């Protein structure tokens, strides 16, 4: 799918904004705060169903009652998102839905400036990052994850009760183990798949012999039964602390550069090439898994890259529709 136009109404600082997209590369140029990232955010909502950075109430232009995003594809298809201050509706082919169905989602490779700090940021931001990517690889991953998160919330709420018996959390232990296992097995499988390509793709960018791997760091190493046992044996401790210690909500993704933790051993330039390699692999895997070539949204990162890495980026995404934001003009 190729986007033809994007129209924003009352979206962040935009009262009315229209972007006419090129089939290949479009550039949104403007000063900081003029609303460039917001345009990518609008495209992301129309293609993925929700924002990568905020809830709808924050997106709605201050003082307005609704926002609207209209994305028209060159095929003639159209996706409309409307938010009325309370809930969001998607209108696709004259059908209204509250959520964007799998069929109406479209793969996107999103590249934010903060992604360049992925290795040195928090485990939470790394989980959020990979969860967003894996949710695109496999819609069921997102379903398992959100069921897991709901069960975790319930268990944690119970743990705050003053008098609590172990069997009161039994049901939640079962759910956490079931969905937790689904999540961790898919995380492992996707990381393995990324790792199969990571060093090669990295070397093609950096033109050297260094190796790159991602490791999933998780407390979970057994099966569903082992998971339940771990939760049960943690019960007293969890009750005192008022939250669940064990589980996939503590997983982390560790980048290794030549076998050592990349954060601290890889240089700034090497880190950039690693992230670039990761993006290329994401695009390739999305295309392979979904049979659709992802739209590439590059937020302010082009200017962060040197000439060689820019050329790699352009070459790698030559068959994708790319939308770039930048403060300075790029040749
Ligand atoms: N709900 C809102 N209503 C009005 N303005 C907003 C809202 N949310 C953010 N803004 C403003 O919109 C501007 C656009 O932000 P952003 O898209 O991040 O700009 P850029 O990427 O060009 O730096 C910012 O100046 C921000 O203060
Ligand atoms: Mg921005």
DSSP string, 85-113: SS-EEEEETTEEESS--GGG---EEEE-G
* Residue 80: C-alpha distances to residues 53, 69, 232, 242 (Å): 20, 6, 47, 43
Q: In this predicted model, what pLDDT tens digit does every residue of 4-25 receive, in sequence order?
A: 999 999 999 999 999 999 999 9
Total domains in the chain come to: 2
Q: How confident is the model at residue 210 (pLDDT cuts 50, 70, 90)?
A: very high
Tell whether 205 and 129 lie within a shared domain: yes
- Per the DSSP assignment, residues forming a β-bridge with 69 are 8, 81
Answering whether pTM is above 0.85, one says yes
Tell whether 29 and 159 lie within a shared domain: no
Residue of the nearest CA to atom 14 in ligand 1?
A: 35
| 80 within domain boundaries | yes
Burial of 210 (0-12, 13-18, 19+ CB in 10 A): middle
* The 322-326 sheet, strands edge to edge: 25-29, 322-326, 295-299, 108-111
Query: In b/e form, how buried is each residue of 155-176, taking b as 16+ CB within 10 angstroms?
Result: bbebbeeeeeeeeebeebbebb
Pure H helices in 94-168:
123-137, 139-159
How far away, in angstroms, is 310 Cα from ligand 2 center? Answer: 19
Residue of the nearest CA to atom 25 in ligand 1?
A: 33
Give the H or E element holding residue 29: strand 25-29
Tell whether 141 and 274 lie within a shared domain: yes
| 115 within domain boundaries | no
Q: How confident is the model at residue 84 (pLDDT cuts 50, 70, 90)?
A: very high
| 72 within domain boundaries | yes
**Ligand nearest, relative to CA of residue 39:** 1
Written as one string, the DSSP assignment of 248-302 is: GGG-EEEEEETTEEHHHHS-HHHHHHHHHHHHHHHHHHHHHHHSSPPEEEEES-G
Name which of 174, 166, 126, 127 is nearest 148 in CA terms: 174
How far away, in angstroms, is 302 Cα from ligand 1 center? Answer: 20
| 133 within domain boundaries | yes
Q: How confident is the model at residue 331 (pLDDT cuts 50, 70, 90)?
A: low
Q: How far is CA 273 from the centre of its chain?
A: 19
**Ligand nearest, relative to CA of residue 29:** 1
Residue 63, pLDDT score: 97
Q: What is the CATH number of the domain that holds 173?
A: 1.20.1050.90
Query: Which residues 6+ apart lie within 8 Å of 204 measured at CB?
Result: 312
Burial of 186 (0-12, 13-18, 19+ CB in 10 A): middle
Tell whether 183 and 283 lie within a shared domain: yes
| 142 within domain boundaries | yes
Tell whether 34 and 97 lie within a shared domain: yes
Residue of 16, 35, 43, 112 to test ligand 1 pocket, by largest number of atoms within 8 Å of CB: 35
Of ligand 1's listed atoms, the one at least distance from the Cα of 38 is 17
Spatial contact of 37 and 325, defined as CB atoms under 8 Å apart: yes
Of ligand 1's listed atoms, the one at least distance from the Cα of 60 is 1
Residue of the nearest CA to atom 16 in ligand 1?
A: 35
Range of the domain at 136: 120-292
Model confidence at 328: pLDDT above 90: no
Calpha distance 70→21 (Å, rounded): 13
How far away, in angstroms, is 94 Cα from ligand 2 center? Answer: 32
Query: Which residues 6+ apart lie within 8 Å of 42 measured at CB?
Result: 6, 8, 11, 69, 71, 81
Model confidence at 304: pLDDT above 90: no
Tell whether 139 and 229 lie within a shared domain: yes
Tell whether 73 and 143 lie within a shared domain: no
Q: What number of other Cβ atoms are within 10 A of residue 14's Cβ?
A: 18
Which residue would you say has higher pLDDT here, 162 or 299?
299
| 212 within domain boundaries | yes
Calpha distance 94→97 (Å, rounded): 10
Average pLDDT over residues 205-227: 97
Which residue would you say has higher pLDDT here, 167 or 331?
167
Calpha distance 237→244 (Å, rounded): 9
| 127 within domain boundaries | yes
Residue of the nearest CA to atom 24 in ligand 1?
A: 33
Of ligand 1's listed atoms, the one at least distance from the Cα of 327 is 22
Proportion of the chain above pLDDT 90, given as a percent: 97
Query: Which residues 6+ apart lie within 8 Å of 110 measured at CB?
Result: 40, 44, 52, 132, 297, 299
Q: What is the CATH number of the domain that holds 61?
A: 3.40.50.300
Tell whether 63 and 189 lie within a shared domain: no
Tell whether 196 and 133 lie within a shared domain: yes
Residue of 8, 9, 10, 13 to test ligand 1 pocket, by largest number of atoms within 8 Å of CB: 13
Model confidence at 110: pLDDT above 70: yes
Residue of 8, 9, 12 to test ligand 1 pocket, by largest number of atoms within 8 Å of CB: 12
Pocket of ligand 1 (CB under 6 A): 12-13, 30, 32-38, 58-62
| 146 within domain boundaries | yes
Tell whether 130 and 207 lie within a shared domain: yes
**Ligand nearest, relative to CA of residue 30:** 1
Average pLDDT over residues 112-134: 97
Residue of the nearest CA to atom 7 in ligand 1?
A: 12
Residue of the nearest CA to atom 12 in ligand 1?
A: 13
Please give all residues whose CB falls under 5 A of ion ligand 2, grouped by chain where several chains appear.
37
How far away, in angstroms, is 32 Cα from ligand 1 center? Answer: 9
Tell whether 259 and 190 lie within a shared domain: yes
Tell whether 86 and 215 lie within a shared domain: no
Residue 184, pLDDT score: 98
């Amino acid at each position: 799918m190729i986007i033809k136009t994007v129209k924003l109404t009352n979206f962040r600082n935009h009262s009315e904004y229209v972007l006419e997209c090129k089939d290949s590369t479009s550039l949104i140029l403007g000063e900081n705060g003029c609303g460039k990232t917001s345009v990518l955010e609008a495209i992301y909502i129309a293609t993925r169903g929700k924002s990568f950075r905020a809830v709808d109430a924050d997106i709605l232009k201050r003082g307005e009652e609704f926002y609207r995003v209209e994305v028209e594809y060159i095929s003639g298809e159209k996706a409309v998102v409307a938010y009325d201050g309370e809930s969001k509706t998607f209108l696709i082919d004259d059908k209204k839905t509250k959520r964007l169905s799998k069929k109406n989602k479209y793969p996107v490779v999103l590249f934010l400036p903060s992604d360049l700090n992925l290795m040195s940021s928090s485990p939470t931001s790394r989980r959020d990052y990979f969860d967003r990517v894996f949710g695109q690889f496999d819609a069921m991953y997102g379903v398992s994850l959100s069921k897991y998160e709901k069960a975790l919330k319930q268990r944690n709420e119970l743990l705050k009760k003053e008098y609590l018996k172990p069997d009161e959390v039994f049901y939640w232990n079962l759910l956490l183990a079931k969905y937790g296992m689904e999540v961790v097995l898919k995380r492992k499988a996707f990381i393995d798949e990324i790792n199969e390509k990571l060093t090669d793709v990295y070397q093609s960018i950096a033109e050297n012999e260094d190796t790159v791997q991602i490791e999933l760091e998780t407390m979970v190493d057994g099966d569903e039964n082992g998971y339940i046992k771990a939760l049960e044996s943690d019960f007293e401790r969890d009750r005192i602390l008022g939250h669940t210690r064990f589980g996939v909500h503590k997983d982390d993704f560790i980048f290794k550069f030549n076998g050592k933790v990349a954060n601290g051993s890889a240089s700034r330039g090497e880190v950039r090439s690693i992230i670039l390699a990761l993006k290329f692999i994401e695009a390739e895997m999305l295309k392979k898994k979904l049979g659709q070539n992802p739209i590439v949204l590059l937020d302010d990162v082009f200017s962060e890259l040197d000439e060689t890495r820019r050329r790699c980026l352009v070459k790698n995404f030559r068959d994708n529709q790319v939308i770039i934001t930048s403060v300075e003009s790029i040749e």
